[in-house]
Amino acid sequence: MDINNEKKSPENMREELRQKEVKHPASSMKGNNLADLVGGANWKISGIIILLLIGILGLVWLFTK
């Protein structure tokens, strides 16, 4: 941060913080985003995850009838 923080408008400060986040995204490093999880896996693993989710939803639907 600069020494001139009191002279900056809140909009300018928000924009600076946004630019810093764009340069160094925290969520990509931790990998807690679904897009990061699927993006890092190959298509076979992604397909297995999708099939498992569909199967679990089917079982829940079957047993709640």
CA-CA distance, 30 to 40, in Å (whole number)? Answer: 12
Counting as low any pLDDT under 70, the low residues of the chain are 1-6, 25-41
Give the pLDDT score at 22.
77
Query: How far apart, in whole angstroms, are the C-alpha atoms of residue 8 and residue 62?
Result: 59
- Do 31 and 40 contact (CB within 8 A), yes or no? yes
pTM of this prediction? 0.39
Distances in Å between the Cα of 6 and the Cα atoms of 1, 12, 25 are 11, 11, 26
